[in-house]
Each structure stands twice: as structure tokens, then as C-alpha cells.
Amino acid sequence: MQDIKGKLRAFIIDNFILSGQFAEFQDGESFMDRHILDSTGFLELITFLEEHFGIEVADEEMVPENLDSMNGLEAYVLRKRAA
């Protein structure tokens, strides 16, 4: 079974990265700063998180600290699953 980051990275690469562009982004890099995700992309990402990991993303949790990097996403999913 893939780890959380592996599943998230595969989703982002498969859905948002064209022609290998940005395929080698680092876990701590901002998706917005690298122009990997835009506002619509974040909505798709949230839907993926809710459907795939069985969590509910509250409006107040839609902040860069939770959603704008691989590290942030992994920590967020782990916190939500533990709650």
C-alpha cells in the first residue's frame, strides 16, 4: 500500500502536471508558487482528499499550511485521521 505522500503525489502529477513539467517538485515546495495548482485545482484536491482519505475538509481548514505542499498535505491528512 502506498503511503499518503505517494498517493497525493501521484494524484497531483496525473491531474495537474503536463508533459513532465514540474514533475520533480520537492515535498516542501508551494504548489501555488510553482504554479502547479490554481484555485480550481485546490477544489479538485479537496474533493480527492475527502473521497480518498475519508476526511471532511472544513472551510476554515482550507489554508496554505494544510494544502499548499506535500508536507502540509500529509500532516493535515494524518491529523484529520487521528481526530
**pLDDT tens-place string over residues 17-70:** 876 565 678 999 999 999 999 999 999 999 999 999 999 999 999 999 999 999
**pLDDT higher at 15 or 23:** 15
Q: What's the pLDDT at 24?
A: 78
CATH topology of domain 4-17+26-82: 1.10.1200
- Indicate the pLDDT class of residue 1, thresholds 50, 70 and 90: very low
What are the domain boundaries of the chain? 4-17+26-82
Distance CA 54, CA 50 (A): 5
pTM for the model: 0.89
- Counting DSSP H helices and E strands in the chain, the numbers are 4, 0
Q: What residues contact 51, with CB distance under 8 A and at least 6 apart? A: none
